[in-house]
Amino acid sequence: MVKKFNAKAKNYEKTICAMIAIAVFLCVWQIVVSFTKAGMVLAGPIETLKMFFVSIVKPVGTHTIEGHIVWSLSRVLVGFVIGSFAGIVLGILMGWFKPVSALFRPIFEILRPIPPIAWIPLSIVWFGLGEASKYFLIMYSAFCAVTMNAYSGVRSVDPELMGAAKMLGANNRQVFTTIVLPSCVPQIFAGLQIAVGTSWATVVAAEMVRSQEGVGWVIIKGQDSNSTVQILVGIVAIGIVGYILAVSMRAIEARLCRWSVRGK
Q: Is the pLDDT of residue 262 over 60?
A: no
Domain residues of the chain, as ranges? 1-42, 50-260
What's the pLDDT tens digit per position in 163-194? 887 787 778 888 888 888 888 888 898 899 99
Other C-beta atoms within 10 Å of 149: how many? 24
What's the pLDDT tens digit per position in 68-117? 999 999 999 999 999 999 999 999 999 888 899 999 999 999 988 999 88
- With 0-12 CB in 10 A as exposed, 13-18 as middle and 19+ as buried, what is 158? exposed
The answer to whether the beta carbons of residues 202 and 117 sit under 8 Å apart is yes
**Superfamily for domain range 50-260:** MetI-like (1.10.3720.10)
Q: For residues 141 and 54, give the distance between their C-alpha atoms in angstroms, rounded to a whole number.
A: 33
φ, ψ at 138 (rounded to 5°): -65, -40
Report which of 195, 229, 200, 227 is spatially closest to residue 216, judged by C-alpha positions.
Answer: 200
Q: For residues 56 and 97, give the distance between their C-alpha atoms in angstroms, rounded to a whole number.
A: 51
Say which range, 2-6, 20-24, 98-102, 135-139, has the weakest mean pLDDT. 2-6
